[in-house]
Amino acid sequence: MSKKWLYWFEELNSGHYELVGKKCANLGEMTGLGMRIPPGFAVSVDGYERFMAETGAGELIRQFVRENSDELKSVKKQMEASRVIRKIVESQEMPPDMTEELYRYYDELKQRAAADEIAVAVRSSGAVSMPGQMETYLNVRGREAVVRKVIEVWGSAFTTRAIAFRIEKGMAMEKAPIGVAVLKMVEAKSAGVVLTVLPTIGDTSKIVVEGNWGLGESVVSGDINPDQFIVDKQSGCVECTVNRKTKMIVYKDSGTATADVPEDLQSRRCVDEEELKEIVRIATEVESYFQCPQDMEWVLDHSGSCPHNLYWVQARPAKFSKPMEKESEYLAELMTRMFKC
């Protein structure tokens, strides 16, 4: 019997980073905490390795590296290698038994979502940090498309930067310890991020919530100037900045597109007071559970009301600047920056 390589989120927790990658493991942990997570499943690192072995893609990559090893130190050759290796991976068909198993999980996901058809997000989930952003595919519809996008996520692990990193670290080129998350898309009214720390100065007494209308990719990518709410953890006081939001990311028949925000929404805050309080409440509880500041992604469904329409699609330790403990430390760093200019 083949080794298990697909897992429902409720089967996972934060101890499964190496099995399914950090994003999937964290989604499993969040599910176990009782948070509202879109239903979904994880494709494990073992699934990637099985695909590479059974299709022969791994051997084709090793052969390419053997034939070009002396030339791969140049950036130009690394760019060419990225194109070649991604084509090797993405031109393969999923082995029939793996395809059928993915179909079964996708069909059961539809049953869990109580829908005849659903759109899903297919997201990379790295087990270790590697440079070069891997792909995310949104609004994927139909089981054949899901299989294809899983393969394309695997192929996206071979960016030029990731290839250079493998060469520098002496890693096998065909190795890519990544899982894939497949989760139901939320019909987003608005979406964004919340950090339980003010990241620029490392102020852990504050929570920052940013959001926009539509899907959260416009906020995560930094393409727009989102609404921002800075909340004091102790007093609950809110510093509110509502920006004019002219663009948002929305569904199209397949995938997503940038659209104009309706004029009556452009200067309206994308979360109301009740929704903001619920986002802050849950983020604070998650920070307390993990015992470190969190960087989380939230989505508000256009149907239903708070708190039942609030979903979470990411939670991870936040990156932030170390706060200066003393004024003398601040002055010393300031002088250092001046002399470096």
Question: What's residue 130's pLDDT?
Answer: 64
Q: What three-state secondary structure class fits 176?
A: coil
Could you tell me the domains of the chain?
A: 6-184 (3.30.1490.20), 188-317 (3.30.470.20)
DSSP tag of 69: G
Cα-based distances in Å from 38 to 118, 197, 310: 12, 25, 10
Q: How far apart are CA 98 and CA 49, in angstroms?
A: 12
pLDDT in tens, 273-282: 999 999 999 9
Residue 175 has pLDDT above 80, yes or no: yes
Q: How far apart are CA 123 and CA 180, in angstroms?
A: 6
Is 282 or 326 the better-scoring residue by pLDDT? 282
SS3 content of the chain, % helix, strand, coil (to 5): 40, 25, 35
CB distance 190 to 268 below 8 Å? no
pLDDT in tens, 255-266: 899 999 999 999
| Single-letter amino acid, residue 302 | H
Considering the entire predicted model, what is its pTM? 0.89
Strand-pair category, 188-195 with 310-317:
unpaired
Residue 328 has pLDDT above 90, yes or no: no
What whole-number percentage of the chain has pLDDT above 90?
80
What whole-number percentage of the chain has pLDDT above 70?
93
Mean pLDDT across 321-340: 53
**Confidence band of 339 (pLDDT split at 50, 70, 90):** very low
Q: How far apart are CA 194 and CA 227, in angstroms?
A: 12
pLDDT in tens, 182-194: 999 999 999 999 9
Question: What's residue 341's pLDDT?
Answer: 39
CB distance 249 to 261 below 8 Å? no
Token pair 């002219």 is found at 246
Give the number of residues written for the chain.
341
Q: How far apart are CA 270 and CA 190, in angstroms?
A: 6
Mean pLDDT across 5-31: 96
275: left (phi over 0), alpha (psi -120 to 50) or beta: alpha
pLDDT in tens, 105-122: 999 999 999 999 999 999
Cα-based distances in Å from 197 to 140, 193, 270, 279, 338: 33, 12, 21, 14, 27
Strand partners, 124: 180
Residue 136 has pLDDT above 50, yes or no: yes
Which of 56-70, 246-260, 306-320, 326-340 shows the lowest mean pLDDT across its residues? 326-340
Q: Check the CA dihedral 132-133-137-143 and report its sign.
A: positive
pLDDT in tens, 219-245: 988 878 999 999 999 999 999 999 999
